[in-house]
Amino acid sequence: MADKKIAGRRDILLLAIVLVIGGICMLIMALRPAAGDGIVEITVDGAVYQQMPLAQDAEVEIAGYSGGENRLIIEGGVVHMESASCPDGICVRHRPISKDGESIICLPNRVVVTIYSKEEGSVDAVA
Amino acid sequence: MPSREKLTPRRVALCGMMVALAFILSYVEHLIPFNFGIPGVKLGLANLVVLLALYTLDLRDAFVIAVIRIILTGLTFGGLFSMLYSLAGGLLSFLLMAFLSRKKLLGTTGVSICGGIAHNVGQLLVAMCVLETGNVWYYFPVLLISGAVTGTLIGLVGGLMVGRLQKYLAGRR
């Protein structure tokens, strides 16, 4: 780099460190086993809305915060958001989830869908 | 350095131009979302202006620009709710970048990387409070990497602009 004020050695080092940390975290998450017999928990605005087994195919209509609506589909141990009333649709474009601790979040409707595996209990109760 | 008390026309004009530039860049980003196909990831073009302001104006002016930018774009493109997210991210990122830009530890790229990551962390914190769940942290690695990548881009471009603007402002004094 021509100018040290823009990007010196320390800047490149910082970038490398951050990328490595992020990469390791992502790798750990990707390598977690699928929670085949886990439960799917749906919360709306912080309160538990519904719980159901991951193994069983289902289609759920979720009444979200302030009139929002989401449709969730569980199929073959994989969960995805079919449709949502919110304008951005981030949760709909979110990749399907199947592993312990993974979640789909719809911010406008305050809907959080999380998978917990049965044996380990909920890891997040501690966090 | 502009004096702390004097509200000179030059200072007012500079701040106004910076706010306008930030606003336009937010608009451009609103029109063409550079989200790299990953939800929640943004290039953060307006951060370019905050970076510029930090290196060419005094801290107070830069802060005012950063906050006004968020309020304006929040009211225009988002809503009060998304403004809350922007505000948390924007303030956290401003504090960190302000601190780092005053130390001579990192170049603009490093400062911008830290700012990008801080921005994402601030938004995650709000999401955690609003949703009352810690689950959002599963998204953290993605945001860490995206913050670093977008921060690098903004930092490189910003660095070039800072150099030019400083030269221009010094010649105009």
CATH assignment of the domain containing B69: 1.10.1760.20
Q: What is the C-alpha to C-alpha distance for residues A33 and A54, in angstroms, rounded to an integer?
A: 14
| A88 within domain boundaries | yes
Q: Which residues contact B160 (CB under 8 A, 6 or more apart)?
A: A6
| A94 within domain boundaries | yes
For chain B, where are the E strands, in sequence order? none
CA distances from A123 to A15, A30, A65, A70, A108 (A): 30, 17, 26, 26, 25
Rounded to 5 degrees, φ, ψ at B51 are -60, -45
Letter for the amino acid at B168?
A: Y
Q: Which residue of A has its CA nearest to B113?
A: A15
Between B132 and B20, whose confidence is greater? B20
| B90 within domain boundaries | yes
Between A5 and A16, whose confidence is greater? A16
pLDDT at residue A3 in the model = 67
Q: Which residues contact A107 (CB under 8 A, 6 or more apart)?
A: A86, A90, B127, B130, B131
A24 & A71 share domain: no
Domain that holds residue A100: 39-121
Number of domains in chain A: 2
pLDDT at residue A91 in the model = 81
Q: How far apart are the first and last CA of chain B?
A: 10
A21 & A75 share domain: no
A32 touches chain B (CB under 8 A): no
Q: What is the C-alpha to C-alpha distance for residues A106 and A90, in angstroms, rounded to an integer?
A: 7
Asked if A81 and A72 count as a contact pair (C-beta separation under 8 A), the reply is yes
Asked if B161 and B48 count as a contact pair (C-beta separation under 8 A), the reply is yes
| A47 within domain boundaries | yes
**Does A22 contact B133 at a Cβ distance shorter than 8 Å?**
no
Rounded average pLDDT over B9-22:
91
Letter for the amino acid at A118?
A: K
Q: What is the C-alpha to C-alpha distance for residues B62 and B22, in angstroms, rounded to an integer?
A: 12
| A126 within domain boundaries | no
What pLDDT digit, counting tens, does each position of A24-35 carry?
888 887 777 666
Instruction: Judge whether residue B118 has pLDDT over 60.
Output: yes
d(CA A75, nearest CA chain B) in Å:
22
Instruction: Judge whether residue B151 has pLDDT over 70.
Output: yes
pLDDT at residue A120 in the model = 46
Rounded average pLDDT over A8-21:
90
Angle between helices B47-56 and B108-131 (to 10 degrees): 130
| A59 within domain boundaries | yes
A1 & A60 share domain: no
Q: What is the C-alpha to C-alpha distance for residues B143 and B87, in angstroms, rounded to an integer?
A: 17
Half-sphere exposure of residue B95, counting CA atoms within 13 Å on the CB side? Answer: 9
d(CA B78, nearest CA chain A) in Å:
11
In chain A, what percentage of residues exceed pLDDT 90? Answer: 6
Instruction: Enumerate the β-bridge partners of residue A59.
Output: A73
Letter for the amino acid at B75?
A: L
Q: For the domain that residue A115 is a member of, what is the CATH number? A: 2.60.320.10
Confidence of residue A125 (pLDDT cuts 50, 70, 90): very low
A49 & A104 share domain: yes
| B64 within domain boundaries | yes
**Does B39 contact A7 at a Cβ distance shorter than 8 Å?**
no
Number of domains in chain B: 1
A22 & A84 share domain: no
| Range with lowest mean pLDDT among A57-71, A113-127, B69-83, B112-126 | A113-127
| B4 within domain boundaries | no
A44 & A18 share domain: no
Burial of B27 (0-12, 13-18, 19+ CB in 10 A): middle
**Does B141 contact A103 at a Cβ distance shorter than 8 Å?**
no
The dihedral formed by the CA atoms of B138, B143, B148 and B154, expressed in degrees to the nearest 10: -170
A17 & A48 share domain: no
Asked if B137 and B107 count as a contact pair (C-beta separation under 8 A), the reply is no
Q: What is the C-alpha to C-alpha distance for residues A8 and A60, in angstroms, rounded to an integer?
A: 53
Domain that holds residue B18: 9-172
**Does B155 contact A21 at a Cβ distance shorter than 8 Å?**
no
Smallest Cα–Cα separation from B92: which of B121, B126, B50, B53?
Answer: B121
| A127 within domain boundaries | no
Q: What is the C-alpha to C-alpha distance for residues B87 and B71, in angstroms, rounded to an integer?
A: 8
Give the DSSP letter of residue B53: H
H helix or E strand, kind and range, residue A47: strand A47-53
